[in-house]
Amino acid sequence: MSLLQLDGLVKRFGGLLVTDHVALSIDTGQLHAVIGPNGAGKTTLVNQIVGELAPDEGRILFCGQDITGWPVHARARAGLGRSYQINSVIGEFTVLENLLLAAQSMRGHSFRFWRSAESDDLLRDRAYATMSMLGLREEAGHVASTLAYGQQRLIELAMALVTGPKLLLLDEPMAGLGPAESEAVIAILQKIRKDYAILLIEHDMQAVFSLADTISVLVQGQVVLQDRPEAVRNSAKVREAYLGDEEIGA
């Protein structure tokens, strides 16, 4: 049984077909990348998986359950973790406070946050372990907005990880990063991939081809190819889809 299975997802905005009967599956321990030209429908697809958009047709199965009608918070508590293309870190909070808030949200607590979360040894231990894993422990007490953009991207990844997800959905984690920062994120994903199933939306082809077990190519809302990285790299169909947009990597 696949951890995540999408069966014929369709999403329309007026007369525009943005997700066109998309089907894919992800197993535990697999990193599945979704690539495609700008406007292909990648983020719309992720938004349907996490529950921010309802599909017009099709089903989403997670751990064997049909979660198509579930709200966002129920999917998160079931084990869907997500990082966003644009930072969602709370800039006025410290790194530790951001992680504690993310971890506490899984318990359904209110925003009476400081007393309960900061005094919860289990939450603090989990937060510090996650920060150590991503090289953020020394920044625990720093206000997030004072840190470099690359570090803020790592905080967002840490906020997804601290919730203990079964599946991690990463929407362009390398967006806005320089070459050295991107290399650091790739190294981190290589380190954690054995412990999580990951769905990766990414324009950085170096990252995609070095990380992915399987790649789905999305063009105008349709999966035109789903295969191993080498087959995707050598596909004339993929090169045609990217012509005039970006190279698919060497």
CA distances from 239 to 203, 220, 227, 235, 247 (A): 14, 15, 14, 6, 8
- Residue 197 maps to a domain: yes
Whether residue 242 is predicted with pLDDT greater than 60 in this model: the reply is yes
Global pTM value: 0.86
Name the one residue in this structure whose structure tokens are 């289990």.
Answer: 122
Strands 16-26 and 4-13: antiparallel
Averaged pLDDT, 37-44: 90
44 and 98 inside one domain: no
249 and 175 inside one domain: yes
Whether residue 82 is predicted with pLDDT greater than 50 in this model: the reply is yes
**Cα four-point dihedral sign 121, 126, 127, 131:** positive
Angle between helix axes 121-133 and 95-105 (nearest 10 degrees) is 120
Whether residue 34 is predicted with pLDDT greater than 80 in this model: the reply is yes
Nearest to 93 by CA among 142, 133, 60, 138: 142
Averaged pLDDT, 223-246: 83
Region of poorest pLDDT, from 67-71, 85-89, 109-113? 109-113
**Cα four-point dihedral sign 20, 15, 50, 178:** positive
**CATH at residue 170:** 3.40.50.300
Domain span at 93: 89-164
Whether residue 28 is predicted with pLDDT greater than 90 in this model: the reply is no
- Domain boundary residue, one of 136, 164, 192: 164
Nearest to 70 by CA among 86, 41, 49: 49
67 and 129 inside one domain: no
Q: What is the pLDDT of residues 120-151, one digit of tens each?
A: 788 899 999 999 999 999 999 999 999 998 89
Q: What is the pLDDT of residues 10-22, one digit of tens each?
A: 999 999 999 999 9
* C-beta separation of 150 from 177 below 8 A: yes
Q: What is the pLDDT of residue 128?
A: 95
Q: Distance between CA atoms of 65 and 18, rounded to whole angstroms?
A: 25
18 and 53 inside one domain: yes
The amino acid occupying position 22 is V
Number of domains within the chain: 2
Q: 167 Cβ partners below 8 Å, 6+ apart?
A: 3, 4, 26, 62, 79, 80, 81, 196, 197, 198, 199
